[in-house]
Amino acid sequence: MVKSMTGYGRCREVVDGRDILVEVKSVNSRYIDANIKTGRLYNALEEKLKSLASTYISRGKVDIYLTVENLAGEKTQLNVNEEYLESYIHLLRKIQQEYGLGGEVTVQTIANKPDIFSQVKTDEDMDEVWAAVEPVAKKAFDIFVEMRKAEGQKMAADVLNHLATLEAIREELVTRAPLVVAESNARMQNRIREILAGVPADESRLLTECAVFADKSDISEELARLDSHFKQFRSMLEESVPVGRKLDFLVQEINRECNTIGSKSNDTSFAKLVIEAKSAVEKIREQIQNIE
């Protein structure tokens, strides 16, 4: 099934207390080019996202955006500055002794001194985060691929219309080719007789020249190759693997055969058909530039 290189997919879900949003969008490119944006805290997930993307995409410039919000807030750890605490308690007792003050140094006394405590943000377990992110990312990619398939089918339908035009032109060339050669030979013989103005012509030499001209003007091989190319083209459009590169090469071959046919004939009807064919080929070429 033909897929477009242009697509968009988005999925947002809450998993294990995390609000996770994954967006995927792509445009055409000769190779796969993945650009991952996760934010500083989740840079470690970029390679995992890139690896996941490669299972869905073979060609295209892809932008992947990941945002993760911990609904429970950032994880923090409360630590005690033990050196500061010991110094603080020692100082209080010294004051008690020197000035004869009563009272006890209690936990409440220490709790009222915030400088004794410090908060440290703890790093999240990236394997745990990825376990939550991966299913959301896969859903976003599934939506993304479905859009690419839908666009690809529209493009394939348009390409097949132009291919049908080429096939009709080829059939007309097949029918017209023998007539063109015969008409050209007749014109050449008449022209030679006019030039000779009544002087007897060497019929054997004349027939030889006509045969040489007919051979040079023969387009049967080109028409046969075009028929083969058209069948290959239709077959490729039905394949389940990416075919954009192969289609691009095949279009080049079709265009080459059209050019050869045009160069071999000086018939105006042929020239008109070749122009129509090249126009259809160009329209196909424009479309397959965006096929994966």
- Does one domain contain both 140 and 240? no
Question: Does residue 220 share a domain with residue 154?
Answer: yes
Domain of 114? Answer: 76-121
Q: Are residues 14 and 140 in the same domain?
A: yes
Are 291 and 251 within 8 A, CB to CB? no
Q: For residue range 145-160, list pLDDT tens digits in order.
A: 999 999 999 999 999 9
Q: How far apart are CA 68 and CA 40, in angstroms?
A: 11
Q: Based on the fold, state whether residues 47 and 85 are members of the same structural domain.
A: no
Q: pLDDT tens for the chain, 292 residues: list them.
A: 799 999 999 999 999 889 999 999 999 988 888 999 998 888 999 999 999 999 999 889 999 999 998 877 666 666 788 888 788 888 878 888 877 777 787 888 777 877 777 765 556 888 999 999 999 999 999 999 999 999 999 999 999 999 999 999 999 988 887 766 556 655 665 665 666 566 565 566 655 655 555 556 678 888 999 999 999 999 999 998 899 999 999 999 999 999 998 887 777 777 889 999 999 999 999 999 999 9
Which CATH number characterizes residue 51's domain? 3.30.230
Are 54 and 44 in a shared domain? Answer: yes
What's the whole-model pTM score?
Answer: 0.69
Last residue of a domain, one of 95, 113, 148: 148
Burial 120-150 (b: 16+ CB within 10 A, else e): eeeebeeeebbebbbebbebbbebbbebbee
Would 62 be classed as within a structural domain?
yes
- Are 136 and 215 in the same domain? no
Structurally, the chain folds into a number of domains equal to 3
Whether residue 2 lies inside any domain: the answer is no
Q: Does one domain contain both 213 and 110?
A: no
Residue 63 is predicted with a pLDDT of 96
Give the pLDDT confidence score for residue 68 in this predicted structure. 92
134 and 165 part of one domain: no
Same domain for 269 and 171 = yes
